[in-house]
Chains A and B, each alone.
Chain A
Amino acid sequence: MKKLKLSAILLALAAPFAAAVVSIIISSLAVLATHKSPMDAYKTMWDFGTTQSSLMQMLNTATPYYIAAIAIAITFRAGLFNIGVEGQLRLGALFGAYIGAMFVLPPVLHILIIMVVAMTIGGLWASIAGYLKVKRGVSEVISTIMLNSLAGGLSSYLLANRFMDRTTNSNNMSTKTLPTSGQFPGLMPLLNKLGIKDKPGGGVYGMLIIAIILGVAFWFVVNRTRFGFELRATGANPIAARVSGVNSKRMTFIALAASGAVAGLAGLPAVLGDTHAFNMGFRTGIGFSAIAVALLGRNNAVGMAISALLFGFLEVSSRALELIDIAPETYVIMQGSILLSSVIAYEVVRRYKITLQSKELAKAVGA
């Protein structure tokens, strides 16, 4: 048994390790191609990335990635692909900011209402894809992507024509600023108590707590509840799941709707903790990076957390590359190469594991 445990651990680490190695090679080649030194690049990134304010920004960047990745993982586990997270989080944040600025409530209640609004909108938007899949057999890959583009157009329209705050005269179209009761307090007071001092331009979004709670809830529901089992069974073998009593149409719909609801929250960290409104500067691309985070993290709570932090670190630390005249977009190469090599490495390791198990089985049975 002990030998099995050790080899199991080694196997679990083999894939990420191999992926990291391949990715470093590819990224170094990319840097070399621009006649710059990879070692300088890595050193600069490390030095900048490990400063306190960078680490705090890393957490802030990772938080929306993690929430969106959880949303995606819910569907991946069920054998579905919700590529429309980008649109769901955008609309969720837009409606959350707009409706949240309409009233004033006690702080906790106010924020809760905003989150509920965002989840509802995101869930409804994803339900369109769910409905189309269940009732009309439309591939959710195509429908969620189309809904992404639709969400982009819809959110521009609503922001420009209906949701815009016309009391200010700035060029940056924005919803009305959220009253203080609707703003999610940062975590600095808490961190101060732990001895971490304030720094200018720093601060950690309070929604990090929500992200952690979501992660734990995700782990618990997927691995320890009946619903989670049925979700995973539908993904592993939809026919066997159906024979075992799972209503596959209902499961598909619920998985997509739940995924959309969680995705709706992913746009809120910056809106509630920083800009306090939805404006044209709202970050795009979170949904797509989150797909990479989910794939890299193998759709489980801990893996995705590590991946989100990794991506956040790469993005933040690569900003320093400009100082040594390297394109900061280098992090895109790093993310891309990690994604592809890890996806391949996981598959290779999985096949090897099965081969290994067969050998173990033969020895135990005495062939």
Chain B
Amino acid sequence: MAVELRHITKRFPGVIANKDVSMSVETGTVHALVGENGAGKSTVMKILYGMQRPDSGEILINGKAVHFKNPNDAIDASIGMVHQHFMLADNFTVLENIILGSEPKHGVTIDFVAARKKIAEMSAAYGLEIDPDILVEELGVGARQRVEILKVLYRGARILIFDEPTAVLVPQEVDDLFNALEGLRAEGMAIIFISHKLDEVLRVADDVTVVRQGSTVAEVKSKDITARQLAELMVGSELPQPSTHGVTRRDQVALALKDVSIPTSTGSRDLISHITFNLHAGEVVGIAGVEGNGQAELVEAILGLREYTGSISFNGESIDHLSVAHRHDLGIGFIPEDRQRQALMMNSPLWENRILGHQRSKPVMRGFVLDKKATIADTARIMEEFDVRAPGPQTLATALSGGNQQKFIVGREMSKAPALLVAAHPTRGVDVGAQGAIWEELRRAREKGMAIVLISADLEELIGMSDRLLVMLRGVVTAELDPAKTTPEQLGSAMTGAV
């Protein structure tokens, strides 16, 4: 038995992350750990990797009890972790990132020659191609993941933890990753694979442990269970499905883009190039694409956060020369991709966050003076309508869970009944319950005539919620698909340009 976790419990201020979690992983197997967002999967793995200490419980590695004080101890015990959010220094080279913390020494200096040699050997052995002298910031997502894996192998890991590795990959890259995992398993490594994508889990794992609300609810063999049963174990009920009903598209064109381009300062390829499409009221257009192909820039152009050439009109009127504030006030709502960075003041109470984006109109303003009473009342309304779980409008934003923060933001943007909503990754990092609620909200808005631009990396969300799909690759719209006739695999191929 390579890894055994027994009765792990971990508390954080105000929340019990893990309660009596147990798990056993054999060498030469892939063991999946599944659960919805916020169920406690990441926490228990951070404990295994020494980044957190358990309040109670034991960890046994190859039969021996261990106590990790920090990641160094875990690394010494041959454990390596490939993180979900890559832990790489953009400004360092691949080589520097890999050897950091385990530098080979030549007297006082780093032995760069030895390091280079070892990396080249590993790279060839596992088929993980990489150029060691390139700066990480220049690498794409798939390459960065390879660096993360090499980091772990460089330190001689025999037990590998993968935290949501396929969250940012298209189907073809997922295949590559699974092939690599096969190779690692054949070498006799023990692999722990955290995911909430149940089809993939059943494809690659031998055993599955299900975690729900901090506790283990099941430990099964993958060949003995179906995805549906797994889902029910994970949530305790049926998973919500993203879907829309009927055709609600109106005649009026809410948003029209014509030849919109954003050049780069370095003179190479445009960030987005000649984007042209019309979006009608009551219609959802899904923008699919691997991250970094221009979707974020497109959003910034529509909102006015970045300069562009070409024309954008809203409800028939050009908005090209209007400021961010003006566009917002005209009726364009925005759910940003990174809520903590772009939509919230974390150390302020919810009622102050209610004002953000709406500080120019009622009910928040009375003339040029803030109407505190009305704002607090309206915040309470939002919390009620959108099921935001928190003690009250005075709660600081940072105290809320990701899902509740997102529900609050959706509620805030909806309160002005915008004619156009730009939603970038609206259910990212959000628990299943909140996800379902947000989808329901978008559905209702669509029926009432709201036009929605939906950007997402969740292919099922895109296919389920959109009326049309546009695929972006290298800043250009390369395909338009009908979601009713598109499978996730086909969408993934289009996204990587394989079609």
A and B touch in the complex (CB under 8 A): yes
| A residues in contact (CB < 8 Å) with B | 223-230, 233, 236-237, 239-247, 350, 354-355, 357-365, 367
Given known contacts A229-B355, A361-B391, A243 and B348 CB-to-CB distance under 8 angstroms: no
B12, closest chain A residue (CB): A358
Q: Are A365's CB and B389's CB within 8 A?
A: yes
- Contact (Cβ within 8 A) B303 A243: yes
Interface residues on B, range: 35 or more
Pairs across A and B, CB under 8 Å, 28 listed: A224-B370, A225-B368, A227-B368, A229-B355, A239-B342, A240-B356, A241-B356, A242-B324, A243-B303, A243-B324, A243-B334, A243-B343, A244-B324, A244-B328, A244-B356, A244-B358, A244-B359, A247-B323, A247-B324, A247-B325, A354-B398, A357-B395, A357-B396, A358-B13, A358-B15, A360-B391, A361-B399, A367-B15
The residues of A that contact B347 with a CB separation of less than 8 Å are: 236, 350, 354
The answer on a CB contact under 8 Å between B357 and A243 is: yes
B344 to A, closest residue via Cβ = A240
Once the chains bind, are B305 and A240 in contact (CB under 8 Å)?
Answer: no
7 shortest A-B CB distances, which residue pairs? A245-B325, A358-B14, A362-B14, A244-B357, A236-B345, A364-B391, A359-B14
A245 close to B360 (CB less than 8 A): yes
Q: Is the interface of A mostly helix, strand, loop or mixed?
A: helix
Check if B369 is an interface residue, CB within 8 A of chain A. Answer: yes
Give chain A residues whose Cβ lies under 8 Å from the Cβ of B365. 226
Do B328 and A245 have beta carbons less than 8 Å apart?
A: yes
* A237 and chain B: residue at smallest CB distance: B345
Are the CB atoms of A240 and B342 closer together than 8 Å?
Answer: yes
B:321-347 near A, CB below 8 Å: 323-326, 328-329, 334, 336, 341-347
Convert B378-396 into 0s and 1s, putting 1 for each residue whose CB lies closer than 8 angstroms to a CB of A. Answer: 0000000000011100011
- Is residue B400 within 8 Å, beta carbon to beta carbon, of the partner chain? yes
Q: Is the CB of B400 within 8 A of A361?
A: yes
Partner of B345, one of A240, A245, A361, A367: A240
In the bound complex, how far is the Cα of B357 from the Cα of A340, in angstroms?
36
With A225-B368, A243-B357, A357-B395 given, can you name 11 additional A-B contacts, CB distance below 8 Å?
A233-B359, A237-B341, A237-B345, A240-B343, A243-B305, A243-B336, A244-B357, A244-B358, A357-B396, A358-B15, A362-B15
Of A241, A245, A364, most buried by chain B (CB within 10 Å of CB) is A245
From B305, B360, B372, A242 is in contact (CB under 8 Å) with B305
Cβ-defined contact, A358 with B399, below 8 A:
yes
**A237 to B368 CA separation, bound complex (whole angstroms):** 22
Instruction: Say how far B7's CB is from chain A's closest CB, in angstroms.
Output: 20
Q: Which residues of B contact A247 (CB under 8 A)?
A: 323-325
Residues of A within 8 A of B305 (CB): 242-243
Q: B134 interface residue, CB < 8 Å from A? A: no
B484 adjacent to chain A (CB < 8 Å): no
Query: How would residues 28 to 69 of chain B score, 1 for a CB under 8 Å from any chain A CB and 0 otherwise?
Result: 000000000000000000000000000000000000000000
Given known pairs A236-B345, A244-B328, A361-B14, the reply for A229 and B357 (CB within 8 Å) is no
Q: Chain A residues with Cβ under 8 A from B324's Cβ?
A: 242-245, 247
CA–CA, A355 and B12, complex, Å? 9
Give the docked Cα–Cα distance between A271 and B369 (Å): 35
- Chain A residues with Cβ under 8 A from B326's Cβ? 245
Q: Which residues of A contact B89 (CB under 8 A)?
A: none
A233 to B342, CA, bound (A): 11
* Interface check B218, CB cutoff 8 A: no
B120 within 8 Å of A (CB atoms): no
Knowing A237-B341, A243-B324, A243-B334, say if A224 contacts B369 (CB, 8 Å). Answer: yes
In the complex the two chains form, what is the Cα distance from A240 to B359 in whole Å? 13
CA distance A33 to B398 in the complex (A): 46
Least CB distance from B347 to A in Å reads: 7
Give B204 Cβ to nearest chain A Cβ, in Å: 33
B16 at the interface (CB under 8 A from A): yes
B370 and A243 contact, CB distance less than 8 A: no
Partner of B16, one of A226, A230, A361, A367: A367
Pairwise interchain contact B391-A229, C-beta atoms closer than 8 A:
no
Write the chain B residue with the least CB distance to A350: B347
How far is B389's CA from A360's CA once the two chains are assembled, in angstroms? 12
Give, as a whole number of angstroms, the nearest-CB distance from A230 to chain B.
6
- In the bound complex, residues from chain A placing their C-beta under 8 Å from that of B372 are 224
Closest beta carbon of chain A to B460's beta carbon, Å? 28
The CA-CA distance from A244 to B327 in the complex, in Å, is 10
Residues on B with C-beta less than 8 A from A362 are 13-15
Minimum CB–CB distance from A211 to chain B (whole Å) comes to 23
Complex partner residue of A354 from B328, B334, B356, B396, CB under 8 angstroms: B396
User: How distant is the Cα of A358 from the Cα of B399 in the complex, in angstroms?
Assistant: 5
Which of B341, B358, B390 lies in contact with A361, CB distance below 8 A? B390
Measured CB to CB, the nearest residue on chain B to A227 is: B368
Q: In the complex, A228→B346 CA distance in Å?
A: 18
Q: Is the CB of B345 within 8 A of A233?
A: yes
Q: Residues of B contacting A358 with CB < 8 Å?
A: 12-15, 399
Query: B356 near A239 (CB under 8 angstroms)?
Result: no
Q: A226 and B357: CB pair below 8 A?
A: no
Q: With A237-B344, A357-B396 as known contacts, state yes or no: A230 contacts B359, CB within 8 Å.
A: yes
Least CB distance, A243 to chain B, in whole angstroms: 5
- A367 and B346 CA atoms in complex are apart in Å by 22
On chain B, the residues within 8 Å of A244 by CB distance are 324-325, 328, 356-359
CB contacts under 8 Å to A, within B350-368, are: 352, 355-360, 365, 368
Note all chain A residues with C-beta closer than 8 A to B346. 236-237
Chain B, residues 274-317, CB within 8 Å of chain A (1/0): the string is 00000000000000000000000000000101000000000000
Shortest distance from the beta carbon of A314 to any chain B beta carbon, whole Å: 31
Residues of A within 8 A of B343 (CB): 240, 243
> Which residues of the other chain, A, contact B334 by a CB distance below 8 angstroms?
243
Alpha-carbon separation in the docked complex, A228 to B365 (Å): 12
Q: Is the CB of B370 within 8 A of A225?
A: yes
The listed residue with most A CB atoms (<10 A of its CB), out of B347, B356, B395, is: B356
Residue numbers in B under 8 Å from A357 (CB-CB): 14, 395-396, 399
Name the A residues within 8 Å of B336 (CB-CB). Answer: 243
State the CA gap A350–B346 with chains docked (Å). 13
Q: Which residues of B contact A359 (CB under 8 A)?
A: 13-14
- Chain A residues near B328 (CB, 8 Å)? 244-245
* Cβ–Cβ < 8 Å partners of A237 in chain B: 341, 344-346
Whether the pair A367, B360 counts as a contact (CB closer than 8 A) is no
C-alpha gap A211/B63 in the complex (Å): 73
With the chains together, A243 CA to B329 CA distance in Å? 12
State whether A355 touches B13 (Cβ < 8 A).
yes
Q: How far is the CB of B319 from chain A (nearest CB, A)?
A: 13
List B contacts of A365 (CB < 8 A): 389-390
Which residue of A241, A243, A363, A367 has the most chain B CB atoms within 10 A of its CB atom? A243
| Contact status B15-A245, CB under 8 Å | no
The residue on B at minimum CB distance from A235 is B345
In whole angstroms, what is the CA distance A284 to B15 when docked? 53
